[in-house]
A and B are shown apart, each in its own frame.
Chain A
């Protein structure tokens, strides 16, 4: 196992997924890729005003994801001697995680089973289930 991809969403369960992924990475001496997917669909409907501001919003969303969720973890884990990379991208959670796993040649995907709010739980629970069904690499689901 060379590369482990872990999906986080800012929830406790996502945090447990990260801890598990870190243990696995240390044990296998593998690289860790931490991903945060910002739920987004190319087929939504929006007002002209929203479209005009979309690029700015996207940059803000990415910046928030990087500075609040990814960078603190990446810095902490790097300091502990792991090879870590943080990625944020917009898209459908399942498809985007698979795409990122493919792009970075990850050998396994680690995700939490549930997210933080009931709605997110459905979405993220859906993510674990969706990954189990369509991921080309093994999936480790953390409760």
Chain B
């Protein structure tokens, strides 16, 4: 591991940032990133043409949806038939009392969820509905339901092939099942597995810096500016200051090891999620007489769209794409978070992970969409989209709710940064070796990304972030396909034990 050269490389990237004026930096980064961003986007978002439609389907959407459908059929609709059992696993019915003090199924699920529930559920849905019409909701729910099976497969593998170190810590995720798993199952393809693991790690580091960090602080700051007065906001232009404050807090958690900040966020985030969902349900409840027409708009819009985005496929893609962004099924990030659970049966964590897309997409995203539709906030011109639209929809029913939403956005963004900095760190140490110094280099990069995210506004960087996170699914899913027999074996054994009543129930 040559950390010195790495550090030197980081410094060379950073030095100009500190010396050049803001405009210069923007342009410089733009110049550096655009070719990369364009190249990656050209592949990931390559539009596969569809006959008789003016719009193609992006490659990555086909890739993720095909996987979701494949795993759903291959595992016999595991996403639906295992929900009840998965709930009992989360509740701890099958956890022996001797395991008290270890990471529980509930904790692993909650941690993974706090990494995924976030802007996607608030802003992404609004984008889908404003561009694709109400019908996009239908396809988003469908994609959410099917991608539960993808999450099941990857999280089972994440636990099965994790590393358990002598000091009692664990480390798991796609890089381990791609390298170890593929080598065990297909010895002839061991080399391919290694390559996949490396490619995955590179994308994961990019996604952690981009979608996991820069995009989060960028959106959080723009919401802060919107709520405090939009263009006239006194905060306008102080993105760098906001970035520094967030970087300080993030730094205290990930470098300083100040657990209390993390703990406070981890407690407030679920609370905010509950507040968000309850407020949404309340608004839907107030407008209950509009609910049937909202549902019919969703169903009819799904098949006979009037959306401005462009026909049936336009709506379908909009829904699928936002679902993929929101729940990250197939991306492999969740497999890293779920791998920490203490269990000798990897399938159990896979089953628990079914709830992640369910809660994230089927429940939370649907509530956002319904609130936007029943409050009639949908802007026919599509001018108001993203967080602003959600804010307007909630604000029309509860006038102070945009402030709560702002707090939710800030906290969700913060917890997403914490989660993704960990995912990125795991990929980084996989590539460059474990060690305090390697970790510090990566953590410093995260902090720089926090500041850059809120202080620069670059389309190329944002596109790059989008492409990177979805690109992770290419190496990840190739590996998951190769390892489906492993998951199938584990599932068959476990399920026959469960059906025959051989699993011990402790409560």
User: Which A residues form the contact surface with B (CB < 8 A)?
Assistant: 38, 40, 42-56, 58-59, 61-62, 89-91, 96, 99
B502: which A residues are within 8 A, CB to CB?
A: none
Q: Is the CB of B111 within 8 A of A55?
A: no
How many Å from the CB of B268 to the closest CB on chain A?
9
B270 within 8 A of A: yes
- Stretch of B21-29, B283-291, B366-374, B417-425 that contacts chain A: B417-425
What is the distance, in angstroms, from A22's C-beta to the closest C-beta of chain B? 27
Q: A52-B169, A52-B170, A54-B340 are in contact. Are A45 and B269 (CB under 8 A)?
A: yes
Knowing that A42-B104, A48-B340, A55-B170 touch, tell me 6 more A-B residue pairs with CB under 8 angstroms.
A42-B92, A46-B110, A46-B111, A50-B262, A56-B167, A61-B101
Structural contact, B419 and A47, CB atoms closer than 8 A: yes
Whether A45 contacts B114 by the Cβ 8 Å rule is yes
Does B150 count as interface, using CB distance less than 8 angstroms?
A: no
User: B94 CB to closest chain A CB, in angstroms?
Assistant: 12
A61 to B101, CA, bound (A): 9
Rounded to whole angstroms, the CA-CA distance of A49 and B110 in the bound complex is 13
B266 with A45: CB separation less than 8 A: yes
Complex alpha-carbon distance, A43 and B107, angstroms: 6
Asked if B53 lies at the interface with its beta carbon under 8 angstroms from chain A, I say no
Main secondary structure, interface of B, reads helix
Is residue B342 within 8 Å, beta carbon to beta carbon, of the partner chain? yes
Contacts of A40 in B (CB 8 A): 100-101
Which residues 25-64 of B sit at the A interface, judged by CB distance below 8 A?
none
CB within 8 Å for A58 and B101 given contacts A42-B95, A46-B107, A48-B111: yes
B168 at interface, CB cutoff 8 A: yes
Category for how many chain B residues contact A: 35 or more
Pick the residue among A38, A47, A56, A62 that contacts B422 (CB under 8 A).
Answer: A47
Inter-subunit contact A51/B103 (CB<8 Å): yes
B318-348: CB near A (< 8 Å → 1, else 0) gives 0000000000000000001100111000000
Q: Chain B CB within 10 Å — which of A43, A52, A59, A89 has the most?
A: A52
Q: Which residues of A contact B340 (CB under 8 A)?
A: 48, 51-52, 54
Q: How far is the CA of A40 from the CA of B342 in the complex (A)?
A: 15
Question: Across the interface, which residues of B come within 8 angstroms of A50, CB to CB?
Answer: 259, 262
A48 engages B101 (CB within 8 Å): no
Q: A53, B169: Cβ atoms under 8 Å?
A: yes
In the bound assembly, the distance between CA atoms of A47 and B167 in angstroms comes to 19
B307 at the interface (CB under 8 A from A): no
Q: Which residue of chain B has its CB nearest to the CB of A49? A: B422
13 contacts between A and B (CB under 8 A): A40-B101, A42-B95, A43-B107, A45-B270, A47-B262, A48-B337, A48-B418, A51-B103, A51-B108, A51-B111, A52-B170, A89-B100, A91-B101
Q: What is the bound-complex CA distance between A58 and B111, given in angstroms? A: 18
Least Cβ–Cβ distance between B353 and chain A, in angstroms: 14
CB contacts (< 8 Å) of B115 on chain A: these are 48
Contact between B423 and A54 (Cβ–Cβ < 8 Å)?
no
In this assembly, does B106 line the interface, its C-beta being within 8 Å of a C-beta of chain A?
Answer: yes
Q: Does B84 contact A (CB under 8 A)?
A: no
Chain A residues within 8 Å of B101, by CB: 38, 40, 54, 58, 61-62, 89-91
A53 to B111, CA, bound (A): 14
B111 and A42 form a contact (CB under 8 A):
no
Q: Are A48 and B336 in contact (CB under 8 A)?
A: yes
B residues 145-172 near A (Cβ < 8 Å) are: 167-171
A58 touches B102 (CB 8 A): yes
- Minimum Cβ distance to chain B for residue A65 (Å): 11
Residues of A within 8 A of B103 (CB): 46, 51, 54-55
Provide the bound-state CA to CA distance between A79 and B108, in Å. 44
Least CB distance from B116 to A in Å reads 12
Give chain A nearest CB distance to B412 CB in angstroms: 13
Residues of A within 8 A of B167 (CB): 56
Q: Does B267 interact with chain A (Cβ within 8 Å)?
A: yes
B residues near A89, Cβ cutoff 8 Å: 97, 100-101
Query: Given A61-B101, A62-B101, A91-B100: A47 and B266 within 8 A (CB)?
Result: yes
Which residues 97-154 of B have a CB within 8 angstroms of A?
97, 100-104, 106-108, 110-111, 114-115
**Complex-state Cα separation, A52 to B106, whole angstroms:** 15
CB distance from B406 to the nearest CB of A (A): 21
How many Å from the CB of B19 to the closest CB on chain A?
34
In the complex, the answer to whether B168 meets A45 with C-beta atoms within 8 Å is: no
A51-B107, A51-B108 known; A45-B97 Cβ under 8 A: no
Distance of B283 from chain A, by nearest CB (Å): 26
Known A-B contacts A50-B259, A59-B168; A42 and B106 likewise in contact (beta carbons under 8 Å): yes
B164 (CB) vs chain A CBs: closest residue: A55
Hey, which chain A residues are within 8 Å of B336, CB to CB?
A: 48
Identify the closest chain A residue to B342 (Cβ).
A55
- Return the chain B residue nearest A40 by Cβ: B101
- The answer, among B104, B168, B267, B419, for a CB contact under 8 Å with A48, is B419
* Interface hits, B392-434 → A, CB 8 Å: 418-419, 422-423
Q: Which residues of B contact A91 (CB under 8 A)?
A: 97, 100-101
Among A44, A47, A62, A96, chain B packs the most CB atoms within 10 A around the CB of: A47
A52 to B270, CA, bound (A): 20
Chain B positions 423-467 with a Cβ under 8 Å from a chain A Cβ: 423
* B422 and A48 form a contact (CB under 8 A): yes
Instruction: Kindly state the separation between the CA atoms of A96 and B100 in the bound complex, as whole angstroms.
Output: 10
Q: What is the distance, in angstroms, from A63's C-beta to the closest C-beta of chain B? A: 11
The answer to whether A42 touches B419 (Cβ under 8 A) is no
